[in-house]
Structure 1
Amino acid sequence: SQELTSKRLRTAARLIKGEPCLVVAPIEAVMQRMAPPSVISAFTQTVRTGMVIEPASLLKKFIDAGYSREEMCEGRGQVCLRGGCIDIFP
């Protein structure tokens, strides 16, 4: 499912960054192939309060990562740009 894939990628990104986390998973889940760390890092974007980010470049990054651009976000994997605001449904 898209939700499970999203959770796996979030966990992988945390592990790649060296953030502390506890992973409890069945062996079948651990043995599944994932994208290499370099690919996960390339599609990881950290956004913090006060950061200035060009909306068009951030939107492109989401689309390149597989999000679908919509007029309004109503489900997982969707992103939309309205004025200078980006709505994301992870």
Structure 2
Amino acid sequence: MLRISDFARIGQVSMSALRYYDEIGLLSPVHVDEETSYRYYELDQLSRLHRILALKEVGFELAQIIQILDQEISPETIHTNLRSVIQ
């Protein structure tokens, strides 16, 4: 497991962004130490982080990204949103 600082460095995001993503349910650590409240992540969570960052970069809001990753938004809606960003 990776500490939040290491995961943030590898994923090229701030620790505060990771804390916020956890707070809103976008990307939660695999373990939170009960005594210290330290957050720990696994390397395989980087793929979800990279998807989050890619979707943010093309203009999706975090609430939309949650829905996309949880498959609550149809592919047609995603396509329409991407098309509007490109134009």
TM bucket, shorter chain = under 0.3
- Flag the structure with higher helix content: 2
- Flag the structure with higher strand content: 1
Task: State the TM-score, normalizing by the size of structure 1.
Answer: 0.24
Task: State the TM-score, normalizing by the size of structure 2.
Answer: 0.25
Instruction: Give the structure, 1 or 2, with the largest relative contact order (CA under 8 Å, sep 6 or more).
Output: 2
